[in-house]
Amino acid sequence: MKRIKLLLISTVLMVQGTMAQDAGEILKKMDEVLYSSKDMMGKNRIVLIDKNGKEKIREAIFKQKGNDKRLFRFTKPASQDGISTLSLPNDVMYLYLPSFGKERRISSGVKSQKFAGTDFTYEDMEAKTFVEKYTGTLLGEEGDLLVLELIPKSPKSGYSKLITKVNKEHYYPVYTEYYDKGGNKIKIAKYTFKKIGKYWNSEVIEMTDLKKNHTTKMIMYDVKYDTGLNDDEFTVRKLKQ
């Protein structure tokens, strides 16, 4: 009887080991799909929908190079026109407020804060790869989706875990649940991907804060890939222009 138990336990451990390995490969493939372009630029329409269905619209332009350089500049509403953020490697982030006429370093403590009143946090907006940010475990499959549990590697993360469902064929996420440090499900994200040229683009991301019953739709349009953006586009000099 003991032998049977030991055999069962070792089999389970072997299976778990295989699934963990699979999860790592899946994360790599997701990164290849989402971060394979050299650079991208485009426009963002951000629709904030409150629990009564009332909508507010913000617009922005963005540029991104690799997975650690991003410039984001609001164009609407008028009260936020020109407010810009520049994200650089090693958690360096600058905020430019036109009314002050100078850039300002943002503390990394802001990462768990909501980004410009949306349901996305600065952490959600990070362009870091999945492999850099999470340790994954494959939980199983649901139809044509792979279900993964992602544990943030950084202790500064605002989340304890994410459960994400990934398209089995193309390896882009279609649905993610976010859990707070207490293990409570606090947000869900739904993704609509569309292929632009050879890249899969997250055309619409719909993030819902379950506690506040508030949703943010981030719609990307006029997206262009590999336009040859150089590093000079991601400097404080450009941020202030």
Partner 1 sequence: MRHTGAGFGIMILILLFSLTGRAQDEKDKLKLSGQFMTDQRFLLQKPNDWAWNENRLTLKLSKKFADKAKFHSEVWLRNIGLPQYNSMADLYNKGIIDPYNLEIREAYVQLYGFLSKNLDIKIGRQRIAWGTADMLNPTDNLNPYDYEDVLDFGRHRGSDAITLDYYFNADFSLQGVFIPFFQPDNLPVGIFANALIPEYDLPPDIVLDELTDETIRPRYNLAESTTAGTKFRGFAGGIDFSLSYVWGRDGLPFSIYNTFSPNDSLTAINIHSELAFTREHIFGADMATTIGGAGLWAEVAGFLPDHEVIMTNDFSPLFPSLPPVKQDSVVLKKQMYVKFVVGMDYHFANGSYLNFQYLHGYASERGAENLNDYFFITYDMKFFEERLKVMPVAGAFIVSDWKDVNNNYAIIYAPTITYMATDNAEISLSAPLFFGKGNNIFSRLTDYDMLMFRFKYSF
**What residue ranges bind partner 1 (CB under 8 A)?**
48, 50, 56, 58, 77-81, 90-92, 100-102, 104-114, 117, 156, 158, 212, 214, 231-232, 234-237, 241
Q: Which residues contact 50 (CB under 8 A, 6 or more apart)?
A: 56, 213, 214
User: Measured from the CB atom, is 111 or 217 closer to partner 1?
Assistant: 111
User: Measured from the CB atom, is 134 or 159 closer to partner 1?
Assistant: 159
**Least distance in angstroms from the C-beta of 207 to partner 1:** 14
Strands 145-152 and 134-142: antiparallel
**Least distance in angstroms from the C-beta of 61 to partner 1:** 12
**Least distance in angstroms from the C-beta of 59 to partner 1:** 11
**Least distance in angstroms from the C-beta of 150 to partner 1:** 20
String of b and e for 77-109 (b: at least 16 CB within 10 Å)? eeebeebbbbbeeeeebbebeeeeeebeebeee
User: Measured from the CB atom, is 91 or 149 closer to partner 1?
Assistant: 91
Instruction: In whole angstroms, give the CA distance from residue 239 to residue 70.
Output: 10
Task: Note the Cα 135 to chain centre separation in Å.
Answer: 15
User: Measured from the CB atom, is 14 or 97 closer to partner 1?
Assistant: 97
**What does the chain come to in residues?**
241
